[in-house]
Amino acid sequence: MKRLSDPKTFQAQAMADRAAGLTTALVPTMGFFHEGHLSLMRWAREHADRVYVSLFVNPTQFGPGEDLDAYPTDQERDARLAEEAGVDVLFTPRHEDVYAADHATWVQVPELAQHLCGASRPVHFRGVATVVSILLNLAQPTCAVFGQKDWQQLAIIQRMVRDLHIPTDIVGRPIVREADGLALSSRNIYLSEAERAQAPGLQQGLKHIAALALAGERDAATLTKALRAFYAEHVPGGEIDYLDLMDPLAISPVQNLTGPTLAAVAVRLGKARLIDNLLLLDRE
């Protein structure tokens, strides 16, 4: 596995791979790898000739007071895990090599960023769309792989790539979970033992309302009320940031469920802000 930190060198490598007729896959990450990240790398390994992983804690997607400075890192362990997953290039740029001091260009998809994480983290998706644009311009990959855990992020990137005619296929992969259902996240290390014990309730609540929807409940307000009640009982330490039913592509609120509907939640448990989601009426 090659380790590159200079954007121009990474771009030259990617261009040479494409010129040699190889298919390439990019997996953008912020590091501190867990099975969720590794599942994306393994998918990429199976579907492309060359696999690139970027590891960059992108400052522009963190708002003031968020955990940019505390974000967990362990680059040597990450490099080992990436190599074991069959990654060809680990790209770890320095902040100042990604963003010039007078960086002035931003990519935004505001219509898809009004709700969910976009509402509670106002600059977040502008930072995400901008850094993913930069990474796609550097790697110009055949495909780029993202987790459905960050569903809104995936929807925004899919829309951005379509609207800007970027010649990369965006691939969304399922959420990888602990045995008890907690979605893997680099931020799970912030949880105390007591908080960790409540955290699986997030997914249990989503499954609970998925069952209600499947049994015929189509009123979004009734379902969100049921989810709130579930969390009050099973995740009593959690402070709900949002809990919404959305059109899965437009990321706009749904009043009545007429087809597959995204149930998305963000809950603060102690120092951790956990997100999870589930597609309701997925098989209808």
Q: Which residues carry out catalysis?
A: 37
Cβ proximity to ligand AMP: between 184 and 210 the closer is 184
Strands (E), the chain: 2-4, 24-29, 50-55, 89-91, 143-147, 169-173, 238-246, 261-269, 272-280
Cβ proximity to ligand AMP: between 159 and 173 the closer is 173
Residue 224 to residues 13, 208, 231: CA-CA distances in angstroms? 48, 11, 11
- Distance (Å, rounded) from C-alpha 170 to C-alpha 235? 34
- Distance (Å, rounded) from C-alpha 202 to C-alpha 266? 9
190 lies in the site for ligand AMP, by CB under 6 A: no
61 lies in the site for ligand AMP, by CB under 6 A: no
112 lies in the site for ligand AMP, by CB under 6 A: no
Among 13, 24, 29, 158, indicate the residue that binds ligand AMP (CB under 6 A). Answer: 29
Residue 24 beta carbon to ligand AMP: minimum distance, rounded to whole angstroms? 17
Using the contact rule CB under 6 A, the part of the chain among 30-38, 89-97, 161-169, 197-205 near ligand AMP is 30-38
Q: Which residues of 232-251 are buried (b: 16+ CB within 10 A; e: fewer)?
A: eeebeebeebebbbbbbeeb
Reduced to 3 states (helix: H, G, I; strand: E, B; else coil), residue 37 is helix
Crossing angle (nearest 10°) for helices 151-163 and 124-139 = 50
Report the site for ligand AMP in 150-169 (rule: CB under 6 A).
150
Among 93, 147, 200, 238, indicate the residue that binds ligand AMP (CB under 6 A). Answer: 147
Size of the site for ligand AMP (CB under 6 A): 17
149 lies in the site for ligand AMP, by CB under 6 A: yes
4 lies in the site for ligand AMP, by CB under 6 A: no
Using the contact rule CB under 6 A, the part of the chain among 102-110, 143-151, 207-215, 232-240 near ligand AMP is 143-151
Using the contact rule CB under 6 A, the part of the chain among 73-81, 101-109, 170-178, 276-284 near ligand AMP is 170-178
Report the site for ligand AMP in 238-277 (rule: CB under 6 A).
none
Sheet holding 2-4, edge to edge: 2-4, 89-91, 50-55, 24-29, 143-147, 169-173
Cβ proximity to ligand AMP: between 148 and 220 the closer is 148
Residue 162 to residues 156, 168, 202: CA-CA distances in angstroms? 10, 9, 32
Cβ proximity to ligand AMP: between 109 and 223 the closer is 109
Cβ proximity to ligand AMP: between 50 and 149 the closer is 149
Query: 108 φ, ψ to 5°?
Result: -135, 145
- Distance (Å, rounded) from C-alpha 246 to C-alpha 277? 11
Q: What residue has token string 């990240």?
A: 37
Using the contact rule CB under 6 A, the part of the chain among 85-93, 95-103, 171-179, 241-249 near ligand AMP is 171-179
36 lies in the site for ligand AMP, by CB under 6 A: yes
User: Site residues (CB under 6 A) for ligand AMP?
Assistant: 29-30, 36-37, 39-40, 146-147, 149-150, 173, 175-176, 183-186
